[in-house]
Amino acid sequence: MTTIEIDEQGEPSIDGIDIDPAMVADIRKFETMLARNLAGDLDDDVFRVFRLANGIYGQRQGGHNQMVRIKAPYGAITPAQLDRLADISERYSRGWGHLTTRQNIQFHYVQLERVPELMWDIATVGMTTREACSDTVRNVTGCHLAGACPHEVLDIQPWAEATFRYFLRHPISQRLPRKFKINFSGCATDCGQAMFNDVGVIAVNRTLDDGTTEAGFRVFVAGGLGANPHPALALEEFTTREELMPTIEACVRVFEQAGNRDNKLRARMKWLVDELGFDELQRRILASRRFLVASSSWPGGIPAQVVATGDAPAGTGSGPVTAVGQGTPVFLTGTSELQRWDQANVVRGTARPTVSAMAWSRLGDVTAAQFRGIAAIARDLDAEVRITNRQNFVLRGLREDQLPDLHARLVALDMAKPGAELARDVVACPGADTCNLAVTQSRGLANAISEALEAAGLAEVDGVRTNISGCTNSCGQHHTADIGFFGAERRAHGSSAPGYQLLLGGYVGDERAEFGQKALRLPAKAAPQAVVRIVGRYSAEREYGETFSSWLGRVGGAKAVAAELKDLDEFPTPEENPDFYVDYGETGPYAAVIGESECAA
């Protein structure tokens, strides 16, 4: 057991590094509960609920193999934390970690007995796994460009930080009917993807009677993905800065009281719209907020984090402003690698004045060397780092003259491909590699699609996103992408085979969410060719600056495009091509093996 010292101020520390007392209590309790479980004194079902609430998730490999999910609120991460994550990957995992679509960092194959040791290691850099899984308020996500975006109305970073701190260990959020997700975006472009969360907050302006403007928020509720996606709905036209925190707490309280505790499949906030009707859900939330002032924990007013740092927007400078958001056009006219990276991966236009640059992470995987390399860059260039919801890093607070050096260092780390908003930036969940619920190897498909696009000369087509999930649960957010896939078992010639449902036309932005429409089902091994055809046709037929959604509508929609791909939905016999009956990265015949779900434990 780790020895905790008490420093001169009475605070706990390890090797002279101060540790948050709440983290110490969390880890000590985990040590105790783990010891009881291993000794047979604590039932596995009870321990599983406790383990998940602490961000530790069982893998399909069984035994004591665990996935450890570490929270990075709104994607914020420091050089010291990056260095420690590199250490974690080598000490406990496979030498690399995985960036998620919700701005967490995951490590797989961590042995259960070593989890407390890992928790102590991350506590020394202020990180926690607490409530990263289970029926809790999950990691609070936010726009990765917040505080550096030329379009933002408010800097949502201190608001996201305040929300994260407020609900971490909050009594009402420990055993909710189901998980609860909160998201922040600084403007209607919605790079943070607020429109499919239980609570999505977008900074907006309103015009007052005297003609002046007031910055505040529009709060959207009851959004969600999964097998039955629901777009979030506006709770009210405008929420003041003073009332934002009570509004969010009222949403959590109503969900805690009214959420379905008998059927986990209908337990998310989105189902309350179906069961109560939106008018009644809205009435309950606003009534809860009205009387929340009577609570001893009333969170009204401007949070201390916002008061301390301010939330003024970055503003726009005198030069050109880079477009952001889904469907952003990227014009790669440069002849050098540096120029093309600059055109695709750099965001300009802030008045502070700074620029931001993406470090592309293939499939969201980051090696120990890459973690340490990004940490060193951040220190040397005095830059901030954020994890994006497309599984990349962004470095912010840069100067123009630092970009050549940054690019050269990213080249050395193999993170310098022009990837932001280009076709090669494929997003995927971990899939059947480690997840109990996945039925296909989504990571393998993502890699195959990337390779097929590169081979076809289409990897740098702009304005098209591809997202993949290994099942219907949408951890890869397939509903929101221009091209989306979710895994499904297929039957052909009397045998099981890996397959996918293709969706087209998903979009999130402009305070709306449009979910991809089903096109057709495909063999897993035919999916890369389908993407090549779709991206190739879009590239050839689109008008100047035309988005994928606009093009799709102009050519007849998902079904029309699917009709031209029908020849790909054919399985050869196992004798003709046995490869169609083996999933990506596997060596034996495909079998849809689904383990016991821990998502709803």
Token readout for 377 is 């860059």
Q: Judge if 520 and 470 occupy the same domain.
A: yes
Q: Judge if 232 and 274 occupy the same domain.
A: yes
Average pLDDT of the chain, as a whole number: 95
Angle at alpha carbon of residue 469, lines to 273 and 441, rounded to 5°: 155
Q: How confident is the model at residue 354 (pLDDT cuts 50, 70, 90)?
A: confident
CATH number, position 378: 3.10.28
Measured between alpha carbons, how far is 55 from 404 in angstroms, rounded to an integer?
Answer: 39
Backbone angles phi, psi at 8, to 5 degrees: -65, -25
Question: What letter does residue 238 receive in the DSSP assignment?
Answer: -
Q: Given 3-state DSSP classes, what are the helix, strand and coil percentages for the chain, each rounded to the nearest 5? A: 35, 20, 40
pLDDT of 367 higher than 70: yes
**Confidence at residue 592, expressed as pLDDT on a 0 to 100 scale:** 82
Q: Judge if 179 and 299 occupy the same domain.
A: yes
| Residue with token string 């004591």 | 64
Q: Judge if 111 and 176 occupy the same domain.
A: no
Domains of the chain: total: 4
Nearest to 398 by CA among 338, 335, 355: 355
Q: How many CB atoms lie within 10 A of CB 161?
A: 21
Q: How confident is the model at residue 599 (pLDDT cuts 50, 70, 90)?
A: low
Nearest to 354 by CA among 309, 324, 387, 384: 384
Q: 412, 447, 473: which is the final residue of a domain?
A: 412
Q: Judge if 74 and 157 occupy the same domain.
A: no
pLDDT of 133 higher than 70: yes
CATH number, position 190: 3.30.413.10
- Per the domain annotation, does 133 fall within a domain? no
**DSSP string for 22-66:** HHHHHHHHHHHHHHHHHTT-S-HHHHHHHHHHTTEEE-TT-TTEE
- Per the domain annotation, does 456 fall within a domain? yes
- Can you tell me whether residue 159 is helix, strand or coil? helix
The number of CA neighbours under 13 Å toward the Cβ of 474 is 20
pLDDT of 219 higher than 70: yes
Q: 123, 142, 172: which is the final residue of a domain?
A: 123
Domain span at 383: 337-412
pLDDT of 600 higher than 60: no
- Per the domain annotation, does 129 fall within a domain? no
- Per the domain annotation, does 134 fall within a domain? no
Q: Judge if 432 and 408 occupy the same domain.
A: no
- Per the domain annotation, does 316 fall within a domain? no
**Confidence at residue 222, expressed as pLDDT on a 0 to 100 scale:** 98
Q: Which parts of 370-410 are beta strand (E)?
A: 384-387, 393-398
Q: Judge if 79 and 202 occupy the same domain.
A: no
Question: What letter does residue 439 receive in the DSSP assignment?
Answer: -
**Confidence at residue 353, expressed as pLDDT on a 0 to 100 scale:** 66
Q: Judge if 375 and 432 occupy the same domain.
A: no
- Per the domain annotation, does 589 fall within a domain? no
Q: Judge if 476 and 569 occupy the same domain.
A: yes
pLDDT tens, 194-218?
999 999 999 999 999 999 999 999 9
Q: CB–CB of 328/463 below 8 Å?
A: yes
Question: What letter does residue 8 receive in the DSSP assignment?
Answer: T
Nearest to 103 by CA among 344, 357, 394, 425: 394
Beta strands across the sheet bearing 56-58: 56-58, 65-71, 104-111, 96-99, 365-367
Q: 123, 144, 163: which is the final residue of a domain?
A: 123
Q: How confident is the model at residue 72 (pLDDT cuts 50, 70, 90)?
A: very high
**Confidence at residue 60, expressed as pLDDT on a 0 to 100 scale:** 87
| Percent of the chain's residues with pLDDT above 70 | 97
| Percent of the chain's residues with pLDDT above 90 | 88
Measured between alpha carbons, how far is 150 from 542 in angstroms, rounded to an integer?
Answer: 28
Q: Judge if 216 and 270 occupy the same domain.
A: yes
Token readout for 84 is 């420690």
Q: Judge if 569 and 444 occupy the same domain.
A: yes
- Can you tell me whether residue 252 is helix, strand or coil? helix
Question: What letter does residue 584 receive in the DSSP assignment?
Answer: T
Q: Judge if 348 and 492 occupy the same domain.
A: no
Which residues neighbour 553 within 8 Å (Cβ) at sequence distance 6 or greater?
Answer: 505
If one compares 335 and 385, the residue with the highest pLDDT of the two is: 385
**Confidence at residue 42, expressed as pLDDT on a 0 to 100 scale:** 98
**Confidence at residue 352, expressed as pLDDT on a 0 to 100 scale:** 62
**DSSP string for 481-536:** SSEEEEEEEEEETTEEEEEEEEEE--EEETTEEEPPEEEEEEEGGGHHHHHHHHHH
- Per the domain annotation, does 192 fall within a domain? yes
pLDDT of 316 higher than 90: no
pLDDT of 293 higher than 90: yes
**Confidence at residue 154, expressed as pLDDT on a 0 to 100 scale:** 97
pLDDT tens, 3-37?
777 776 767 878 788 899 999 999 999 999 999 99
| Residue with token string 């990265």 | 585
pLDDT tens, 240-256?
999 999 999 999 999 99
**Confidence at residue 1, expressed as pLDDT on a 0 to 100 scale:** 65
**Confidence at residue 545, expressed as pLDDT on a 0 to 100 scale:** 86
Measured between alpha carbons, how far is 442 from 431 in angstroms, rounded to an integer?
Answer: 5
Omega prior to 246 cis, within 30 of 0: no
**Confidence at residue 2, expressed as pLDDT on a 0 to 100 scale:** 72
- Per the domain annotation, does 327 fall within a domain? no
